[in-house]
Structure 1
Amino acid sequence: MRKDVAGVAALAAAALLLRVPSLRSPLSDDEGGFLVVAAQWRPGTSLYGDYWVDRPPLLIAVFELADRLGGAVALRAIGGLAVVAAVLLAARLGRLVAPRARHAPVLAAAVAAIFLSTPLFSAGLVKGELLAVPPVLLGTVALLSGLAAPTPASAARWWLLAGAAGAVAVGLKQSTVDVFLAAVMAAVVLARLGRWRRAGLLLGCVAAAGLAVTAASVAWAASRGTDPVALWHAVVTFRADAAAVISEAAPTVNDGRAAGLVLAFAGSGALGLLVATSRGRRTSEPDAADPPAFRAITLTVVVWELVAVALGGSYWLHYLVATVPGLVLLAAVAARERTRLRLLVGVVAYGAAATVLANVATAVPAGVTSPSAEDEVAVAAYLRESARPGDTGVVAFGSPWILREAGLESPYPLLWSLPVRVLDPGLVRFERLLRSGDRPTWVVVEGESVDSWGLEPAGADRVLGRRYQLEHVVGDWRVYRAGKR
């Protein structure tokens, strides 16, 4: 077996093994919530069945598959497969970009394995950012393969694949438009070379395949009751509305998370990789199958990924997972230049050490959870034991996995706090529900009020106090049951 093949296989196996401890770890809010949404996706009263979430349909489809295969463990297994696929595709990208550098596939694969395994990126979570990495890498491989293809026909086939993969990535995480931006930059390079027909072919193929896959996924979602217009609002315009709400009303904790994001990017070694590979040899004339084109495409992808992280608004650590394709490209391009090799190897070695140490530091013995997680588990257990058939519940506002564990459905379609802040900030809809005949049997509140930043809780708190009675308290959590009149 060739050394580079063995090295890549070892890296993929190591990345997979690092995820084994998380197989039975508690679900995050998003993981549990997406499973709740996916489990009941059918024609209903909201965007996805009876629930609303600002995510594209392919992501919900993945969670539906995980739900059918058993839930949390199946979801984590799917995440592991995505990481293995990303490592292998990164190796292919390294060989494609630096065919004469024997070390390039291993270095590119190492970058993918490191940053898809580090707790500093919250890479253990299975979310849109993680699941979109393999199709972004596949689309990039196809795009660059098309640039090197000897005939227009073979180039077209590669670029059709690139467009399809890019659309799949967007269908998993709507901000991962990396492949399409890279295609535009590649077309610009081709145009500068006077290869206008090839540039037009590239854009036409990528656009056609991307539109076809997107149309098919939207039509499929529509057949299951997801309205295309409402879907556009959820995955596009809602994000702008949410950004405005966050900028106007978010507490200073958001600033702290932004600082933590920068520190995590630096501490993981990603910033060092960015700096170490930012300078390199330049040639005066671009060539669509040579380093300048690769560097232009890499710069486009990296800049967009960093911008997308900044535009995310809430600055959660898992946003950084979306930068992995760009980091892989940086390593692949730098591997071509011997003057950068020693520095690149040093940065990758540091990143590997940081990832191992972070995994060791965050390892939790089996059966041990944090006090807050224990409280949520206790709330879910109480509801599961106390609820009767036909009961419903609302967790105000977040931790929807509690409903899943308790076996309850929610008559309120907004399962997370951000959609509530944007779509029902006055809690008018929630208050109306509490007054109606369809009111939830159980209401779970963290704290003494449904209040949170950006909300106006007075009316809802009054109705909760008049029509519900406090049944159980666990830590900061209060469980109310309908009964008062």
Structure 2
Amino acid sequence: MASMPARDAEPAVLDLGTAGRPLALLCSVVMVVRATYVPRPLRNDEGGYLLVARQWHTGGEFLYGDYFVDRPPLLMLIFRLASLVEWDQAVRVLAIPFVLLFVLAGWRAGTLLGGPAGGRWAAVVAASVMCSPWLAAEQADGELFGAAFVMAAIALALSAWHADSGTGRLCWAGAAGVAAAAAPLVKQNLLEGLVLLAGLVLYGCWSHDGAARHRALRIAPAALVGALVPCAVALVWLTAARSGLSAAWRDLVAFRGAAFDTIWASSPDASIRRAWLLVGLGLVTGLLPVVLTWFLAASRFPRHGSPGLRTITALLVFGVGAIVAGGSYWPPYLLQLAPAAVLAAGAVAPSVSVPGAWMRGCSRTVVAAAVLGTLASGVVHATVPQLSYSQRIGEWLADSKAPSDTGLVAYGNAAVLETADMPSPYPHLWSVPMRTLDPEQTRLRATLAGPGAPAWIVQVTGLNSWGIDDRSRLRDLLHQRYRIVAEICGHPVWLRQDLTRALAPPPPC
């Protein structure tokens, strides 16, 4: 039985005649595939983040102004950049370079772990995962942007470990620290870059190898300094925005715990169904088989394996724990496992790295399954009409509204308001914040009963969903102040009774 090398493969120089051309071809395919996702309607989160980003200002009630959102500032900054143009789909275009960064970083990390063959296998898995609609990777969401930072941090950290010169090692480690600390500023639980850096340092410090200990002692301070840079920038922003650390902790961290309790108290069955669906999606896209293959192979590796290989298991365990802690179990959650899965593919698939021919064959079959899963999901996504009621309703509202009109979606699909270019007087654009921070709907009813009540209300779910209006107080208020003027794609649209508008023809659905 072949043995695992004690060290990772030496860094490979990019040969444009061998590695460069297939990699360039793969990146070209990724760009073409991602371009097909650009014109598709924005999803709920994308529209909501754009709506928040367009009105982002200091001095508001919440971190980003008048709307509550529990996402970190770097993600909102990305959407702020996309909002500088009027074309909503610009954020999908902005996602393309992040996906390419993920693929290139995956190739680099795979090369460092498994040589040129490892780089090729890792790049293929990276491209497959980040182009899979079944993982909701066609969306420009926090998981996608954050995964790119994590993958970059991992590639930079492994480059620091293998650097020949002390200066190069410091530069690589500092850059790895920056990328690793930037990832949780996109999505809070994306800490894998920091986990990998910590694993490399601890391995080196505990190792009896003097060279490994020297690497660790050089990497640790440089990575720490690099990690402090995004943190310092975020602190400066909080100070300039007149928002304290307590407010940031409340909205970005403490809220997540409260939201978890709300989700499981009000709709546990829905979360369980989504969790099983998540497992199914992970299997058919090949992501979970890659993870399972790694655990089977890792049990056969010698205990003196390299630090890069030894940390893959820790990254996967952390990723699974972070997914479980999320509570809602939407398809993008699986992208948490993508960086570690790419590393696993790069380490397991090459023949020089896997103990046993049966495991090599199994790992390559799994990688092929990941590619086929992405192709199948892409075909389904391209041929099956997408549910775009949010875009249809938003466009209808845009054609029917007056310039100063405001709106509200009950309960939460901000993409409707973003498409309609219509602000909301109610700060909670998603159902979970509303159920967590306004569980009795006190503020919602006060908004609808007050002088600044929205002109339009779009009903996308039952008014008593989750038993939130079991005493019909909201329903009675709606009937007092509003009337149903249209039903667009099966969803009632209410207009305030003191207003009249020239309604556009209902769109086809």
Q: Structure 1 length as normaliser, TM-score?
A: 0.91
Gaps of 5+ in 1: 286-290
- Of the three residues 333, 339, 344, the one matched with 2:363 is 344
For 1:358 and 1:284, the matched residues in 2 are separated by: 39
Cα displacement (A) at 1:138: 1.4
Name the residue aligned to 1:85.
101
Cα displacement (A) at 1:203: 3.6
- Of the three residues 459, 464, 472, the one matched with 1:451 is 464
Cα displacement (A) at 1:124: 0.6
Name the residue aligned to 1:231.
248
Q: 1:193 to 1:378 in 2, by over 3 A?
A: closer
Determine helix, strand or coil for the equivalent of 1:354: helix
For 1:35 and 1:432, the matched residues in 2 are separated by: 26
Cα displacement (A) at 1:149: 3.1
For residues 27-51 of structure 1, give each alpha carbon's deviation from its aligned partner in whole angstroms, at most 9, with x where no partner exists: 1000111110111101223321111
Cα displacement (A) at 1:222: 4.5
Cα displacement (A) at 1:208: 2.9
Contact 1:398–1:415 (Cα < 8 Å) also in 2: yes
For residues 200-256 of structure 1, give each alpha carbon's deviation from its aligned partner in whole angstroms, at most 9, with x where no partner exists: 554433333222212202422543465543222122111111111112221422211
Q: 1:180 to 1:452 in 2, by over 3 A?
A: same
Name the residue aligned to 1:71.
87
Name the residue aligned to 1:52.
68
Q: 1:325 to 1:483 in 2, by over 3 A?
A: same
For residues 133-174 of structure 1, give each alpha carbon's deviation from its aligned partner in whole angstroms, at most 9, with x where no partner exists: 221111112212222234554433222111100111111111
For 1:179 and 1:251, the matched residues in 2 are separated by: 32
For residues 326-349 of structure 1, give each alpha carbon's deviation from its aligned partner in whole angstroms, at most 9, with x where no partner exists: 011101222341544333222212
For 1:442 and 1:103, the matched residues in 2 are separated by: 57
Name the residue aligned to 2:19.
4
Q: Name the amino acid aligned to 2:41.
A: P
Q: Name the amino acid aligned to 2:333.
A: Y
Name the residue aligned to 2:259.
242
For 1:155 and 1:119, the matched residues in 2 are separated by: 38
RMSD across aligned positions (CA): 2.2
Q: Name the amino acid aligned to 1:301.
A: L
- Of the three residues 422, 433, 436, the one matched with 1:408 is 422
1:27 is the counterpart of 2:17: no
For 1:227 and 1:434, the matched residues in 2 are separated by: 31
For residues 279-315 of structure 1, give each alpha carbon's deviation from its aligned partner in whole angstroms, at most 9, with x where no partner exists: 2553344xxxxx4312221111111111111211111
For residues 405-462 of structure 1, give each alpha carbon's deviation from its aligned partner in whole angstroms, at most 9, with x where no partner exists: 2221111111000101111111011111112222212222235x53221624632222
For 2:427 and 2:239, the matched residues in 1 are separated by: 18
Q: Structure 2 length as normaliser, TM-score?
A: 0.87
Q: Name the amino acid aligned to 2:322.
A: A
| 1:401-480 matched pairs, under 5 angstroms | 401-447=415-461, 449-453=462-466, 455-456=468-469, 458-480=472-494
Q: 1:386 to 1:144 in 2, by over 3 A?
A: same
Cα displacement (A) at 1:396: 1.4
Cα displacement (A) at 1:319: 0.8
For 1:282 and 1:394, the matched residues in 2 are separated by: 56
For 1:216 and 1:55, the matched residues in 2 are separated by: 16
Q: 1:227 to 1:445 in 2, by over 3 A?
A: farther
Contact 1:59–1:128 (Cα < 8 Å) also in 2: yes
For residues 261-292 of structure 1, give each alpha carbon's deviation from its aligned partner in whole angstroms, at most 9, with x where no partner exists: 1011111112222232322553344xxxxx43
For residues 353-397 of structure 1, give each alpha carbon's deviation from its aligned partner in whole angstroms, at most 9, with x where no partner exists: 2211221122147xx543xx34x3443233223322222111112
1:319 is the counterpart of 2:333: yes
Contact 1:411–1:440 (Cα < 8 Å) also in 2: yes
Name the residue aligned to 2:4.
none
Contact 2:264–2:271 (Cα < 8 Å) also in 1: no
Name the residue aligned to 2:278.
261
Q: 1:182 to 1:377 in 2, by over 3 A?
A: closer
- Of the three residues 134, 141, 145, the one matched with 1:131 is 145
Name the residue aligned to 2:373.
354
| 1:390-401 matched pairs, under 5 angstroms | 390-401=404-415
Name the residue aligned to 2:505.
none
| Overall identity of the aligned pairs, in % | 28
Determine helix, strand or coil for the equivalent of 1:332: helix
Q: 1:78 to 1:226 in 2, by over 3 A?
A: farther
For 2:177 and 2:124, the matched residues in 1 are separated by: 26
For 1:454 and 1:47, the matched residues in 2 are separated by: 30
Q: 1:381 to 1:91 in 2, by over 3 A?
A: closer
Name the residue aligned to 1:288.
none
Q: 1:114 to 1:369 in 2, by over 3 A?
A: closer
Determine helix, strand or coil for the equivalent of 2:466: coil
Q: 1:86 to 1:284 in 2, by over 3 A?
A: closer
Name the residue aligned to 1:97.
113
Range moving further from structure 2, 75-84 or 460-469: 460-469
